[in-house]
Amino acid sequence: MNNHFTLVKVENTGAFLSVGNSLSGPLRFILLNLLPLMAVAAGLVFMLTRELSRTTLISVVLIVGGGFGNIYDRIRYGSVTDFMHIKFGSLQTGIFNVADVSIMLGMVILILHAVFKRADAVTKEASAEESQV
């Protein structure tokens, strides 16, 4: 697509942007397998044990699903297959996959929801105070 979106297959043995691909032994296992697995498990427990708004639930499902996809690949194959790259002028991404998009989309939705929910609560609180005066 005019060199703005390219498909390039890369086996990423590290984490985001290949960070940690030179690690070895127990440290590699802990940082790239165990901690992400625990984070996904915690997200799954959070999602299943709390009353969440629809927006929060969707964002957590996206994060947990994307995290699970990357962890599955890393445990099963020893690496995650990244294949998408976006470039517009001097702005460009690293090479990423659909699971990464899911995680990032979930995080953006979660953050925006929290910001707007907070702003809405502040507005309601200010309106309540004005009506009492």
CA R_g for the chain: 19
Q: Which among 96, 100, 102, 106 is annotated as catalytic?
A: 100
Residue 100 annotated in active site:
yes
Residues counted in the chain? 133
Q: Which among 67, 71, 82, 95 is annotated as catalytic?
A: 82
Q: Which helix (H) or strand (E) holds 87?
A: strand 80-88
Cβ atoms within 10 Å, residue 115: 10
Residue 82 annotated in active site:
yes
Rounded Cα distance between 46 and 60, Å, is 9
Contacts of 62 (CB under 8 A, 6+ apart): 102, 103, 105, 106, 109
Return the closest-CA partner of residue 84 out of 18, 2, 9: 9
SS3 at position 92: strand
Residues with catalytic annotation?
A: 82, 100
